[in-house]
Structure 1
C-alpha cells in the first residue's frame, strides 16, 4: 500500500464525487479520545464548516485555533485522536488533511489507521490497528489530499485513528470511502437508498455555489439552510439546475421526498425527478435516456414534497432538478432492493 498526493481538482473528481466523508460531524462522526488537546480540541477536526482564524483571540492556554492542537515536546512518536465513523462501517479510499492557519505549529507528518470493533465496544489498549494511509509529510496552512494507490481498502472499519508526528496542529480531517450499511434482511423492506448511511452518493451536478450536493443525502432535516444544496441565481431562459445521485443499490422506487426545509425565499420555483438503470456512474451522467418519475411541478417553501411512485422498474440513479435554480435541503428515495 502506498499513498498518492493529489491536487484539489483530482481529489474532487476521483474521490469527493464518488465517495462519502464517512467521519463528518453532520453524519454522526465523533472524536472519542485523544493523546492530548491542550491548545485546541480534537472534535474541531470534524466540524462541517471551513476553519477560520481570529488573531486577536486568546484562551487561558494560548492563541485560539479552529482545529486540533497539542502541546509542544511530545515524548512519544506521535499524538493521536480516535474517531468513531458516522456510518455502520466503511471501506476507505483517501483523506483530506487541512492545516489551515497552522504555520510553524502544523503537524509535520500524518498517518491514518483503522479497526473494526464489534458489538458496540470501543477501541482499547488491546485493539489491533491497520494502517490505511501511511505516514506522509504535511505542509503549513494548506489543504492536502491523499489517495490510496491500491484503491478502496479490502476490509471495512468503524473506528479510525489519525496520528500526527510528533505533535502540532491540524484544522480539519475528512476521510472518504464507501459506507457498508447494515440493511434489513428482507428485500421487500422499504428504506431510503439515497441516504448516505445506506450507500447513496451524489456524483454530479450543474452547480453547488452555496451548498454542496452531498448535503442532500444527510440524515435529518438539519438546523438551518447551511447544510442543504443551493445554487447561484440563473439568468438564462429555460435553465434548470440538477444533481445526479447513485442509490445505495439497485432498487424499485416506492416514494420520493424533496425537502425544502429552511429555504423560504430561495427555494426552487419548480422541481422534477428522473431515474435510470445504468451500468456505472459515467453512463448515467452521459445518458439522455432518463425516465421521468416525478413530473415537473411547482415547489413550496420550507416543505416536504412527497411523491408516491407506482409500477417502478429497477433503477440505479436518480436525477433531481431545481428549476430554474434555488435551494433544496434533502432528497429521499424510498425503495426496496432487488
Structure 2
C-alpha cells in the first residue's frame, strides 16, 4: 500500500470525490449508480466533465487563469464553461485544505472556517471572534451577571439601518418575546423584535446599541424567539468604548430620530454610510463576534449564547464597552439582545465628589429611587447600577436574586427574588422569645458581591408585592475579602459556591421579622443615616444594625423561604 493511499486525509478527499461523481452520474442517466472504486469513479467523472465542456457552445469564453481558482484555492465558478473535472479537483483540494489547515483547528469561536474553505463567501473570515458560542444545551454562568443592555437600566437604540417589519427598540425589552397569532400591520406580520426587510441591495443591516450600564461584556443571549423562517442567519457584534457616541451620531443628520423606533422605515444610504464611516474611525473597538450562525426561533434553538472568556487566546481582558454594533448578515430578525457583564463605575471617586461638594446629590434616578430617610451622601454599595453582583444562592424557583439589585421599585412580584416553599414544614408553628417563629425548618440564602469595599450604615429590605409569600424574618451577614475583588467575578462565584460554609461571616443585621408588602429601613444605632421616622419604624423588635467594619460581600438569609423585592445597602466606600 502506498503512503498516499494510507493517508486518511487523502482517503477522505477521495471519498468526497467519489460521492460527488456518483451524484452527477445519477442525475444525468436517472438510474442507480454502479458500485465502483473511488479511484475509477474520480477518473470517470473527470473524463465525463471534459466531454461536457467540449460539447458546450462555441461562443462560451474559455476559463481564464484568474477565473479558475481563488486565492484560497477554492474554485470561483464562472457563468459558463463549468467543468465537472474542475469541480471534482477543486473539491478534493478544498477538503485537503480543511483537514490540514491549522487555523480551523485553533478556532473555537466560529463555525465559518469550514465553509470559508469551500465557498467563496466571507463566512468566518480571518478576523477572530473573542466570544465563544455555547451550544452544549446548558445555561452559561454569565446569565447570573448584570444585564447591561436592558431598557430598564437605560439601554437604547441609537441607530438602525432598516426597521421595516419591526423596530430595533424591541431588542432591549425586559419582557419575554410575544407572539400574536394572525396579527398583521400595513408592513407585514407583527413581530416582537427587530426585523428588517429582505435585502435586495449590497451590504447588510446593523444597529448601534447604547448600553444602559457601561461595563465589561462577559456574555450575550441573542434570542430569535418566534423568528423561525425569518431569523438573521448570521450575526456579528462589536464592542465600542465611546461615551459621546450618541452626540456624534446625532451630528450626522438634523433629524436622527427618523432612523430608529419606527416600523416601516429605512435610513438613507448616505446616512448609513456616514454612520459606518464614523464607527470605523473609532479606535476603541473590540470584535466580540465576527460572524457566527444563529439558530431559528424554536424553543430548543432560540437562545444563541456567546461567552466572552478571559483566556490566553487574548492577552488582555475585554475592554469596557459603552455601545455595541450589532450586525445582521445580511438581514432578518432578532427578538431580544441580552448583554451580561460587570458594571465598571468608580464608586470611590463618586463618593469623594459627594463629600467635597463637587457633586451635591445623586443622579435624579438614584434620588427618586432612594427613600426619604437616606442621606444623599451615602452610596448603595450593592446596587447593580454601581457594580453589585449576585454570586450564588440556595434557590431561585420563582425569581432570581439579582432582581434584588435592580434600580427602581419592582413593578410586580415577578421582578424580585422568590424561593419555593420548604417541603418539610412544621405542622404547627410556635413563637420564640425573640418574637420570631422558633420551629421553622430550613432557610434560603443569597450571596452578593459589593460594588466596592465599604462600611454599611443603612439597610433597606423591600417586600413590595409579596403579600402572602414574604419571608418570616431575615438575617444579613458580611465578610471582608478584598483579596477576592481582583479576581474575575465568575471565579468569585465559583469560589463562594464551593466554600460557602467555610467563610467567616460577621453579623450585620440580626435575625429580624419582616412584614408583607413593606419597604423597611434598618439603621446603625446613633448612625444618623436614617431619619427618626425610619429608625423608629425599623423593626417591631427594635433591632438595629451591628457595626461589623468593612465588608466586600454580604449574605442575605431568609427564614424559611419566600420573596424579597429589593435589597439596598447604603454606606461609605473605603479604599
2:378 aligned residue: 190
User: In structure 2, do the counterparts of structure 1 residues 9 and 233 end up closer, same or farther at CA, with 3 Å as the change threshold?
Assistant: farther
- What is the DSSP-based 3-state SS (H/G/I as helix, E as strand, rest coil) of the residue aligned with 2:352? coil
1:78 aligned residue: 204
Q: Which runs of 4+ in 1 moved over 6 A?
A: none
Equivalent-residue separation in structure 1 for 2:323 and 2:170 (angstroms): 17
Give the greater-gyration-radius structure (CA). Answer: 2
Equivalent-residue separation in structure 1 for 2:163 and 2:227 (angstroms): 15
1:298 aligned residue: 513
Once the two structures are TM-superposed, the CA of residue 123 in structure 1 deviates from its matched residue by 4.6
Q: Given the two structures, how large is their TM-score scaled by the length of structure 2? A: 0.55
Equivalent-residue separation in structure 2 for 1:250 and 1:212 (angstroms): 24
- What is the DSSP-based 3-state SS (H/G/I as helix, E as strand, rest coil) of the residue aligned with 1:85? strand
Once the two structures are TM-superposed, the CA of residue 30 in structure 1 deviates from its matched residue by 1.3
| Relative contact order, higher structure (CA 8 A, sep 6+) | 1
Once the two structures are TM-superposed, the CA of residue 191 in structure 1 deviates from its matched residue by 0.6
2:86 aligned residue: none
Is the 1:195–1:332 Cα contact (8 Å) retained in structure 2? Answer: yes
Q: Between Structure 1 and Structure 2, which shows a larger proportion of helix residues?
A: 2
Once the two structures are TM-superposed, the CA of residue 56 in structure 1 deviates from its matched residue by 2.2
Is the 1:254–1:310 Cα contact (8 Å) retained in structure 2? Answer: no
- What is the DSSP-based 3-state SS (H/G/I as helix, E as strand, rest coil) of the residue aligned with 2:181? coil
1:177 aligned residue: 341
Alignment of 1:309-328 (within 5 A): 309-328=545-564
Equivalent-residue separation in structure 2 for 1:296 and 1:90 (angstroms): 35
Once the two structures are TM-superposed, the CA of residue 41 in structure 1 deviates from its matched residue by 1.6
Equivalent-residue separation in structure 1 for 2:150 and 2:457 (angstroms): 29
User: In structure 2, do the counterparts of structure 1 residues 123 and 175 end up closer, same or farther at CA, with 3 Å as the change threshold?
Assistant: farther
Q: Does 1:55 align with 2:187?
A: no
Alignment of 1:40-189 (within 5 A): 40-87=166-213, 89-118=214-243, 121-124=246-249, 125=275, 126-127=278-279, 128=282, 129-141=285-297, 142-150=302-310, 153-183=317-347, 184-186=350-352
Is the 1:74–1:167 Cα contact (8 Å) retained in structure 2? Answer: no
Q: Does 1:4 align with 2:160?
A: no
Once the two structures are TM-superposed, the CA of residue 76 in structure 1 deviates from its matched residue by 4.0
Equivalent-residue separation in structure 1 for 2:382 and 2:137 (angstroms): 25
Once the two structures are TM-superposed, the CA of residue 74 in structure 1 deviates from its matched residue by 4.8
Equivalent-residue separation in structure 2 for 1:185 and 1:81 (angstroms): 35
Pairwise CA RMSD of aligned residues? Answer: 2.2
Unmatched runs of 5 consecutive residues or more in structure 2:
1-127, 250-274, 356-376, 426-440, 485-491, 524-544
Unmatched runs of 5 consecutive residues or more in structure 1:
none
Once the two structures are TM-superposed, the CA of residue 207 in structure 1 deviates from its matched residue by 1.7
- What is the DSSP-based 3-state SS (H/G/I as helix, E as strand, rest coil) of the residue aligned with 2:455? strand
Which of 461, 464, 469 is the equivalent residue of 1:266?
469
User: In structure 2, do the counterparts of structure 1 residues 299 and 185 end up closer, same or farther at CA, with 3 Å as the change threshold?
Assistant: closer
Equivalent-residue separation in structure 2 for 1:102 and 1:118 (angstroms): 33
User: In structure 2, do the counterparts of structure 1 residues 71 and 313 end up closer, same or farther at CA, with 3 Å as the change threshold?
Assistant: same
2:541 aligned residue: none
1:287 aligned residue: 500
Is the 2:165–2:191 Cα contact (8 Å) retained in structure 1? Answer: yes
Is the 1:97–1:143 Cα contact (8 Å) retained in structure 2? Answer: yes
Equivalent-residue separation in structure 2 for 1:93 and 1:274 (angstroms): 28
Q: Does 1:336 align with 2:461?
A: no
Q: Given the two structures, how large is their TM-score scaled by the length of structure 1? A: 0.91
2:445 aligned residue: 242
Is the 1:254–1:312 Cα contact (8 Å) retained in structure 2? Answer: no
